[in-house]
Structure 1
Amino acid sequence: MAARKEIDGSASVPEFYGKELRFKREEAGLTLERLVDGSFYGVTYLSEIERGERRMPLDLARHVDRVLKTDGFFARRCEDVRKARRKGHAPYFERVLEAEKHAQSIVQWSPTVFPGLLQTGPYARAVIRAERMPELPEETDEKVTARLARAQLFETNHKTPEYWAVLHESLLRLLILPPEQMAQQLDHIAALIKHDRIVTQILPWNAGAHALMLGNAMILDFTDAPPLVYMEGQHHGNTIDDPALVKQYRRSYDLLRAAALPPEASLAMIEDAAEDYRNGAQPVRLERRRLA
């Protein structure tokens, strides 16, 4: 069982919800074990909800209301908590946002953009603003803040999942920021590698045909739940938990990883690219030619 943590109900909607849940449970004289008895959930899951670290599923909320006789309060409010937890993220990303905090390992293939977990603020802002969405500046700020908050997974005081990313070499030379900020983005990734927070491999531009050429993929493994695969398009995301499909994606990722450079060589390539940006060396640009 997780150690008891004092909950600051003013910190966020999930923590307010969790604090009220703990208060009602203790007021009724029930342990965590007694409250989850008869549901499909475990003690750790409920404890994490009380600490504001995990969302409340509707079926569990209804079970809690029935046991605590709270007149449907927790069922009515669990959707508010879900919305608050995904603030700044698209609704289709909610399942992954929750899952990556509890993953034992995460592997990711990102051929066209640095993964959100690895982005700096300026890089995230550039990617978000590229869509020219009709939104207020504070709405963009909210999205950037939410994306950066995900990287708390790699802080030393958190339980860190094993994270392995394969990136296409073209990302190192895709100049979407001023050179100094591009150098900072690459320095950020290099620092995570050197502090043993992540493992990264670069797929060379001339690697030829390779697995997962048709899109991106994130595979999440857990100690207490089946694995998931997540793929994302510009305005949609798809989560897959079918065991046979997950197995196929894992095999494809293994083939991709085998085609990429070793981690040491990949780190050297990232650091060299960052140094080039600092020294004013510009990426090679393709000349625009008029078509006859």
Structure 2
Amino acid sequence: MALRRTTEEVVRLLTPEAFGWLMRDLREAAGMKIVQLARQIPCDSSLLSRYESAERQPKLTIVQQIDELLGTGGRLERAWHNTDWHREIEHPDWFKHFVKTEATAVSLREYQISRFPGLLQAPEYARALLARGPSRKDGPTLDQRVAARMSRQARFFLEDGPLAIFIIDEVVLRRMVGGRLVMIRQLKHTLDVIRRFPNIVVQIAPDELGERVAATMGFTLLELPNGTEVIYSESVDRGHFSRRPDAIERLSRAYDRLRADALSASESADLIRRTMEGLLNVSPELQPLPTAMSWFKSSYTGENGGQCVQTSHDLRPLGLMPIRDSKNPDGPALTFPTTSFSAFVNGVKSAGFDAI
């Protein structure tokens, strides 16, 4: 980790965006696509995209691997040490008080009825939400707003991070934000987070609770290091804090009751997984696909056309196998679950289908 520096030294440091631009330029200069680099590390190509867009800080070991694979002579590692990873990212004025409080909380309990909580959002999901929100010409860019939201997650995404309990209304799992692919990524991201970090608990409030839900709007209960509790909620254009003991007592009781009525953590994970699999099962309609994808066809095919198809490994981390006509690369592509496609290929190999 780069050491904390004085104000005079920080002036000479790179910004995380500049580091991301350098990483992308070195990769492109080496003639390597992001998917190819990810395979050699190995890691998810979406993770490298986050590094290049300054949404995530890469670990030094990853940077050293990239330097070696690109043959940069350690240039990227030197830039990593000279990047101001500690800079303070700007949040909207009305939100700053909450971010400051959240950054010191020893525990957090949140109930969400409209969207995945910010601390659980994948970058693509956050981008889709923020792109629809208000913005100012002289305010932060969309990339900066996404980076600000991602920056809040760091202290919670630790094995010994603060306890964070999220109760999410089931409708959030089905509310399409950013399209089918973004939702698949968000659901997979949520499953990855709860699998990796025992301090994060996610429970789903099922539809059948009906009028028994705790409240008609979302809220967050935060416990501070001195034992003080705070309630936070949002209206259309501002945030609301309350330290009133009676309000805290009322919402704490409502939250505990909702936890008892909600699905357990394991049942909730199963529901999230089934929802994601449901999106995968109907993924032949998944459009549009990411534009920067590496397509290939069988090495047994020639260059004279014929009945050929192309596929790509870019979506394999999501459990997807896209297929398109090699003669019409700009046409539509079908996307199938990798398990279904593997079963089909194995069936063809074993002559499990009748010849037509």
Instruction: Tell me what 1:60 maps to.
Output: none
- Unaligned segments of structure 1, at least 5 residues: 14-83, 283-292
Instruction: Tell me what 2:214 maps to.
Output: 212
Q: How does 1:72-83 map to 2 (within 5 A)?
A: none
- Rounded to whole Å, the distance in 1 between the matches of 2:174 and 2:158 is 30
- Rounded to whole Å, the distance in 1 between the matches of 2:206 and 2:268 is 9
Quote how far apart the aligned CAs of 1:137 are: 9.7
Q: 1:90 to 1:225 in 2, by over 3 A?
A: farther
Quote how far apart the aligned CAs of 1:252 are: 1.3
Q: 1:135 to 1:185 in 2, by over 3 A?
A: farther
- Rounded to whole Å, the distance in 2 between the matches of 1:201 and 1:122 is 22
Instruction: Tell me what 1:233 maps to.
Output: 235
Instruction: Tell me what 1:191 maps to.
Output: 192
- Rounded to whole Å, the distance in 2 between the matches of 1:247 and 1:12 is 45
- Rounded to whole Å, the distance in 2 between the matches of 1:99 and 1:134 is 25
**Alignment of 1:90 onto 2:87:** no
Task: Kindly indicate whether the alpha-carbon contact (under 8 Å) linking 1:110 and 1:217 is maintained by their aligned counterparts in 2.
Answer: yes
Q: Secondary structure at the match of 1:155?
A: coil
Which amino acid in structure 1 is aligned with residue 231 of structure 2?
A: V
- Rounded to whole Å, the distance in 1 between the matches of 2:152 and 2:105 is 13
**Alignment of 1:8 onto 2:5:** yes
Q: How does 1:92-171 map to 2 (within 5 A)?
A: 92-131=94-133, 133=135, 135=137, 139-156=141-158, 159-171=160-172
Q: 1:220 to 1:137 in 2, by over 3 A?
A: closer
With normalisation by structure 2, the TM-score equals 0.53
- Rounded to whole Å, the distance in 1 between the matches of 2:117 and 2:168 is 9
**Structure 1 residues 233-242 or 207-216, which shifts more?**
207-216
Which amino acid in structure 2 is aligned with residue 188 of structure 1?
A: H
Instruction: Tell me what 1:172 maps to.
Output: 173
Quote how far apart the aligned CAs of 1:135 are: 4.1
Instruction: Tell me what 1:250 maps to.
Output: 252
Quote how far apart the aligned CAs of 1:163 are: 0.5
Q: 1:163 to 1:140 in 2, by over 3 A?
A: same
Quote how far apart the aligned CAs of 1:132 are: 5.6
Moved over 6 A (4+): none
- Rounded to whole Å, the distance in 2 between the matches of 1:137 and 1:270 is 35
Q: 1:261 to 1:155 in 2, by over 3 A?
A: closer
Task: Kindly indicate whether the alpha-carbon contact (under 8 Å) linking 2:156 and 2:164 is maintained by their aligned counterparts in 1.
Answer: no
Q: Secondary structure at the match of 1:109?
A: strand
Kindly provide the CA deviation profile for residues 12-53 of structure 1, in whole angstroms up to 9, marking residues without a partner as x.
Answer: 79xxxxxxxxxxxxxxxxxxxxxxxxxxxxxxxxxxxxxxxx
Quote how far apart the aligned CAs of 1:134 are: 5.2
Q: Secondary structure at the match of 1:230?
A: strand
- Rounded to whole Å, the distance in 1 between the matches of 2:275 and 2:128 is 19
Which amino acid in structure 1 is aligned with residue 263 of structure 2?
A: L
- Rounded to whole Å, the distance in 1 between the matches of 2:275 and 2:5 is 44
Kindly provide the CA deviation profile for residues 181-211 of structure 1, in whole angstroms up to 9, marking residues without a partner as x.
Answer: 2111111111111122411111111211124
Q: Which one has a bigger Cα radius of gyration?
A: 2
- Rounded to whole Å, the distance in 1 between the matches of 2:89 and 2:97 is 9
Kindly provide the CA deviation profile for residues 157-196 of structure 1, in whole angstroms up to 9, marking residues without a partner as x.
Answer: 7x51100000011111111123222111111111111122
Which amino acid in structure 2 is aligned with residue 162 of structure 1?
A: L
Quote how far apart the aligned CAs of 1:232 are: 0.8
Task: Kindly indicate whether the alpha-carbon contact (under 8 Å) linking 2:108 and 2:223 is maintained by their aligned counterparts in 1.
Answer: yes
Q: 1:103 to 1:134 in 2, by over 3 A?
A: closer
Q: 1:6 to 1:131 in 2, by over 3 A?
A: closer
With normalisation by structure 1, the TM-score equals 0.64
Instruction: Tell me what 2:269 maps to.
Output: 267
- Rounded to whole Å, the distance in 1 between the matches of 2:202 and 2:275 is 15
Figure out how many residues of one structure are paired with residues of the other and give that number: 207
RCO higher in 1 or 2 (8 Å CA, sep ≥ 6)? Answer: 1
Q: Secondary structure at the match of 2:165?
A: strand
RMSD: 2.7
- Unaligned segments of structure 2, at least 5 residues: 12-86, 285-356
